Amino acid sequence: MKALPVIRPLLPLLSLLSLTAASAEGRQQPSSQLDFLGGDWTLSGPSGEAAGTSHIVVQLPGAMIYEERRAEGGQLPVWFVNSESAGGWSQLFPSPSGALREFRPSSKPGEWPLVLGTDVRLADGSPARFRLTLTRRSDDESRRVLEMSGDSGAHWRPVFDFTYKRVKGR
């Protein structure tokens, strides 16, 4: 019982530390910010029309996510990788040549929307810049917009605009 008087002056500090820890747990850490994507999704276009489906697996929490997307008449494997060298989440997917194309982060780690992109040469040799914007609306809905520019980012045109909605009950 003699220890109680020593602890009593520390109670405000302990309460503050407890609140700080609880607050930190509630904040999304950059490394795990995409883990909510795990699951099955329906995709819709900008007007709400059905556009496809997606199955997403968190292969390594906070580090590696695999997506199998079926949309626009085809199937596309996509990986999200939390890359030390890129300084955050990157997206990998097969390019038309069969090599993996990487969209590197241009937004700050942990910042929403998550913006990724890259400069490439198209099949005809012309330069193009791509920008993917992923917006998290909730744990059960997100939006992905892929845009392309042929003039170094002065003008953008949409490639796709998908809203992902979680399939409930699976």
Tell how far CA 35 is from the center of its chain. Answer: 8
Q: What is the pLDDT of residues 55-105, one digit of tens each?
A: 999 999 999 999 999 998 789 999 999 999 999 999 999 988 889 999 999
Q: What is the pLDDT of residues 118-140, one digit of tens each?
A: 999 988 999 999 999 999 999 99
Instruction: Give a yes or no: residue 8 inside a domain.
Output: no
Q: What is the CATH number of the domain that holds 75?
A: 2.40.128
Count of domains forming the chain: 1
Please work out, in degrees rounded to the nearest 5, the angle formed at the alpha carbon of residue 57 by the alpha carbons of 51 and 62.
Answer: 120
Instruction: Give a yes or no: residue 10 inside a domain.
Output: no
Longest dimension (CA), the chain: 82
Preceding omega of 113 cis (within 30 degrees of 0):
yes
- Answer yes or no: is pLDDT of 24 > 80: no
SS3 25: helix
Instruction: Give a yes or no: residue 100 inside a domain.
Output: yes
Instruction: Give a yes or no: residue 19 inside a domain.
Output: no
Q: Is 24 left (phi over 0), alpha (psi -120 to 50) or beta?
A: alpha
Instruction: Give a yes or no: residue 5 inside a domain.
Output: no
Instruction: Give a yes or no: residue 125 inside a domain.
Output: yes
Average pLDDT value for the chain: 85
Whether 43 contacts 13, CB under 8 Å: no
Instruction: Give a yes or no: residue 6 inside a domain.
Output: no
Instruction: Give a yes or no: residue 51 inside a domain.
Output: yes
Residue among 128, 114, 121 at smallest CA distance from 157: 128
For residue 46, what pLDDT is reported?
A: 95
Q: What is the DSSP string of 91-143?
A: EEEE-TTSSEEEEEE-SPTT-SSEEEEEEEE-TTS-EEEEEEEEEEEETTEEE
SS3 46: coil
Q: Where residue 32 falls among pLDDT bands split at 50, 70, 90?
A: low
SS3 13: helix
Domain that holds residue 58: 32-166
